[in-house]
Amino acid sequence: MKRVFLALALILAFLAAGSVATLWNFSHRPGPLDSAVDHVVPRGSTVRIARDLASAGIIPAGKMAETQFRLVARLTKSDGALHAAELHFPHGASVMDVLRILRHGSPVRHYLTIPEGRTARQIATIIEQDQLLSGPMPMIAEGALLPQTIAYERGALRTQIVHRLEVLMTQTLDRVWQGRDPDLTLKSSQDLLILASVVERETGDDSERPEVARVFLNRLAKGMKLQSDPTAIYDLSNGLGVLDHPVTHEELHRAGSHNTYDIMGLPPGPICSPGLAALQAVAHPAAGDMLYFVADGTGKHGFSRDLHEHNRRIDALKTVRASQSRADGEGSVVDHHR
C-alpha cells in the first residue's frame, strides 16, 4: 500500500511540475503580435480583459490560453492591478510583458497642435475635429489660447484642452508683460495681446516681427491709423481670418469693428491667437522711426520712414509682380500696402 501511495505522489508531483513548466513557458514565450500596436484596454474583469487581448491578437487565442492568462494574472496579483487605458504593446510581447504593461505602462500620448495666428473659429474647428478627444466644444474667446503643441490621452475632454491652452496664454502673457521694455507705450497686457495678434497676421517671419511692431507703435504714437489688412479681413470673414479671394481696395475701406483702415487706434480685441514670438516682438520692438512697410517680393518686407520712400518700394514691388505675372502667363497683380 505504501508503494501505491508513493507512486501516486510521484505521479502528482510530475503532473504538478509539468503544469508549472507549461504555465511558465506560456507566460514567458514570445506572444503572437507580429508588429507593435497601440490598443485600448477596456474596463472590466480579468475575464473581459483576457478575451479582449486575445481578440486583438496580443495574447494567444483560445479558451485555454485565456484561462492560463487569468491564472498567471492571479498568481502575480501582488505586482499590482490591471489598468484600463490605451497602451502600447511591442512586437512579440510575452504574457508577462503584457501583464507588466497592463500594470505599469504609461498611456499612449497623442499630440494636438494649434498653429500661431489661428482665429478662435479656426482653433475650435481643429479641436472639434480631433476624433480622439471627447465631450462638447466650449466657446473660445478670441486670442485666449496660446498656440502650442500639447500632449493628451485618448478620451480627454475638449474643455480640458481649451482650459490648458487658456492657462498657458494667461501665464505667458503675464510673463511677457512683466518683462516688457520699460518705455513701451502700451497701457495694458490686453493691448499687448491685441497688437501682437495683428503683428502675427502681418508676417510669419520671426526676424522682422519686432520691426512690424515698431511701425504700429510709431503710428499709434503719431495718431495715425494702423491700416492693417488682416484687421479688415477679420471683419470681412466674420472672424474666420481668411477670404476666398484677394481682398479689394473697396473691402479694405469698408466699415468694421476691427478694421484699422476705418477705426483709430487698436482694434477692440485680438484678431487671432498670437504665438510667443509675436508677443515678445511687441514687448521688445525694434528701434527706429519707420512708419510704413510693404512686401518686397521675397517673402519679407521693406520698411520706410516716410511716404516717399514707401511709394518707391511699392513701385519696385509692382515691377517684380508684373515680371512674375508675365512669366506665369497671368494677369496683372493688385496689392495693397500701408
Three state DSSP letters for 62-94: CHHHHHHHHHHHHHCHHHCCCCCCEEEECCCCC
Tell which residue, 137, 132, 131, has the closest CA to residue 158.
137
In the block, residue with C-alpha cell 514687448? 283
Q: How confident is the model at residue 336 (pLDDT cuts 50, 70, 90)?
A: very low
Tell which residue, 101, 98, 82, 99, has the closest CA to residue 43.
82
pTM above 0.85, yes or no: no
**Residue 312: what pLDDT?**
80
Condensed to tens digits (0 to 9), the pLDDT of residues 156-192 reads: 999 999 999 999 999 999 999 999 999 999 999 999 9
